[in-house]
Amino acid sequence: MNWASWSDFLAMGGYALYVWGSYGVVFGLLTMEIVLLILRKRSILRELMRSAARRGLQ
Amino acid sequence: MYVTPENTAAGQDRFVGHSSWFRYSSPQTFFPLAGKLAPWFAVAALLLAAAGLYLGFFVAPTDRQQGEAYRIIFIHVPAAWMSMFIYVVMAFWAGMGLTFNTRLSGMMASALAPTGALFTFLALWSGSLWGKPTWGTWWVWDARLTSELILLFLYFGFMALQAAIDDPRRADKAGAVLALTGVINIPIIYFSVQWWNTLHQGASVSLNSAPTMAATMFAGMMVMVLALWMYSIAASLMRVRCIILERERDSQWVAEYASGQT
């Protein structure tokens, strides 16, 4: 085990900014990409259903 | 241009439908398959990332020279490898599209580009945060960093070019030419640390020598590579489904699929 305590772990031997700055941005942006993809598919489906409804009215 | 069955969308599917080898090159058959596979790749990515982070932070020992700053390696190296690997896969699909004129190949290439660009940015970002405490600078114009930055511009160029052309088939062709030309940059990135005198260190892992790091460090890094690999497959399958729906919006099967989603 490398760490004596939680605060020791979070301090990263004085490199917290660099280590957490890397991991935070990586996992933040990867999560964002997946969320954006889910939203993109939803909005395509919504638009497809709207245009299908328009065609149905004509 | 003469309209033959081969250059209409429906004719294309009939054309490739002759051979079962090409069966999944039809967007209509690939769409549900991609939808079934994507969640499994996402779950694999999550499990592997949990295991890789555990190895990287709790099992791998502190580095004697760099202290804890070296732990950036577990995300930096996998992101950098994926940035190059995704480019090669993207260029492969682009080339397949040019050669066989299959619509799905171009869609796969388009689906991979944003994820590849993201990993390129993340490799540069984490590298910058690693360079500051170890080299004393966020950025230096050495061969490795500069060629990786060029990779980011190649991804941006590919996406901008495709976005600028309205006809998707022509956008695929133009993008493919750019993607294939840019492949030359991949060996330049990879060998830059040998060919030029760089501030960036040489490869820690190579095929013909033992890795120059502790076994647990190496294990943590490779598990993270697998995690990002699975993530990339999941993300590009999700994106290719969006692209298929957008490009095939006027087809009967998309209309049926959309009405079944309510």
- The token pair at A54 is 């328009």
Q: State whether B75 and A23 contact (CB < 8 Å).
A: yes
Is residue B261 a part of any domain in this protein?
Answer: no
Residue B90: predicted pLDDT: 98
Average pLDDT over residues B178-194: 94
- The token pair at A39 is 């939203």
Residue A25 scores a pLDDT above 70: yes
Q: Token match 């993207």: residue?
A: B90
The Cα B115–Cα B239 span in angstroms is 9
Of B57, B61, B242, the CB nearest to A44: B242
Contacts 24+ apart (CB under 8 A), A5-8: none
Is residue B14 a part of any domain in this protein?
Answer: no
Is residue B19 a part of any domain in this protein?
Answer: no
The dihedral built from the CA positions of residue B208, B212, B213 and B217, taken in this order, carries a sign that is: negative
Residue A2: predicted pLDDT: 84
B64 pLDDT band (50/70/90 cuts)?
A: confident
Flag whether residue A36 sits within 8 Å of chain B, measured between CB atoms: no
Using a 10 angstrom Cβ sphere, with 0-12 exposed, 13-18 middle and 19 or more buried, the burial of residue A30 is buried
Spatial contact of B179 and B90, defined as CB atoms under 8 Å apart: yes
β-partners of residue B209 are B206
Number of domains in chain B: 1
The dihedral built from the CA positions of residue B179, B184, B190 and B192, taken in this order, carries a sign that is: negative
Is residue B83 a part of any domain in this protein?
Answer: yes
B176 Cβ neighbours under 8 A, 6+ residues apart: B94, B95, B97, B98, B106, B109
Spatial contact of A15 and B67, defined as CB atoms under 8 Å apart: yes
Average pLDDT over residues B14-23: 53
B126 pLDDT band (50/70/90 cuts)?
A: very high
Tell me, what's the ipTM? 0.93
β-partners of residue B63 are B67
Question: What is the pLDDT of chain B when averaged over all its residues?
Answer: 89
Residue B203 scores a pLDDT above 80: no
User: Three-state DSSP class for B262?
Assistant: coil
Q: B14-18, B61-65, B222-226, B249-253: which has the highest mean pLDDT?
A: B222-226
Mutate to test the interface with A, among B71, B217, B221 (most CBs of A within 10 A): B71
Of A2, A22, A38, the CB nearest to B76: A22
Residue B7: predicted pLDDT: 46
The Cα A19–Cα A26 span in angstroms is 11
Among B105, B81, B82, B79, which residue's Cα sits nearest to residue B179?
B105
Is residue B4 a part of any domain in this protein?
Answer: no
Residue B222 scores a pLDDT above 70: yes
- Domain extent at residue B73: 30-245
A55 pLDDT band (50/70/90 cuts)?
A: confident
Is residue B101 a part of any domain in this protein?
Answer: yes
